Amino acid sequence: MERVSAWKAHGGSQQVWRHQSVATGTQMTFSLYLPPQSEAGSVPLVWYLSGLTCTHANVTEKGEYRRACAELGLAFIAPDTSPRGAGVPDDPEGAFDFGWGAGFYVDATEAPWSANYRMWSYVTDELPRLVLEHFPVEPAAQAIMGHSMGGHGALTAALRHPGRYRSVSALAPIVAPSQVPFGTKALAGYLGPDRAAWRAHDSVALIEDGAQLPDLLVDQGAADEFVDAQLRPDLLKAACDAAGIPLTLRMQPGYDHSYYFVSTFMADHIRWHAERLG
């Protein structure tokens, strides 16, 4: 791996790394914050999955997580949201919700996307193995969170890997992609028309099919322009209630979908994870 940059921050080190991915067949970039406690040994790790149009840089520059991570001794990693580069297909119409920046954390099975768009394998298999091999993080103390499309990715990763993550949370997640326009476009494009194949990447469907979480924290801006048509926290609440999953769903008055919203509640989520990571 190649270290692109490193900065001192809150006593720790904010780094950006680049490597050649086997899963995507491309160069991939991720950011990693190591708190000062990592100089003395392995520390717990919080995974953060970003939303549509984002790279690793959005949360790195705007997320305001470093102070809390430094105080609590947590590493924080943020991968990209899709493969990129010459030869990687993009939406032919330049849409923001498909192609570059919109990998949706699935392994595509449809041409031409299937050659590179393997973000599920990347974020749940390849990158975790590399990070555990190269950095001072504790394998048994991992958490995961995400925003919007990344909230969808975080929830499905936790639901499909019971025991891997000690805690999971989300900020304005897409919880039922099979039932909303962002999701149906992405899942049909990457996975094809068979809706049965979509259920493995739909949090509400996974819960309906028996997947469990010990508990869950979700913050949602009440003034979010996407809340009613695309995010549908009501469907997540209904599924969690029916399955007996303790859900803390906080509707935040006046907040939208932006990183002003994300950064406001980031420290709360870091503390939530720290309590469960020990």
Q: What percent of the chain has pLDDT over 70?
A: 100
Catalytic residue among 147, 152, 257, 269: 257
**How many domains is the chain partitioned into structurally?**
1
Point out the catalytic residue in the list 148, 167, 169, 203: 148
Q: Which of 80, 97, 219, 224 is catalytic?
A: 224
Q: Record the pTM.
A: 0.98
What mean pLDDT comes out for the span 45-70? 98
Range(s) of the domain holding residue 180: 2-277
Active site residue 224: yes
Catalytic annotation present for 148: yes
> How many other CB atoms are found less than 10 A from the CB of residue 11?
13
pLDDT at 141 over 90: yes
Is residue 10 pLDDT above 90, yes or no?
Answer: yes
pLDDT of residue 103: 98
Please report, for the domain that includes residue 117, its CATH number: 3.40.50.1820
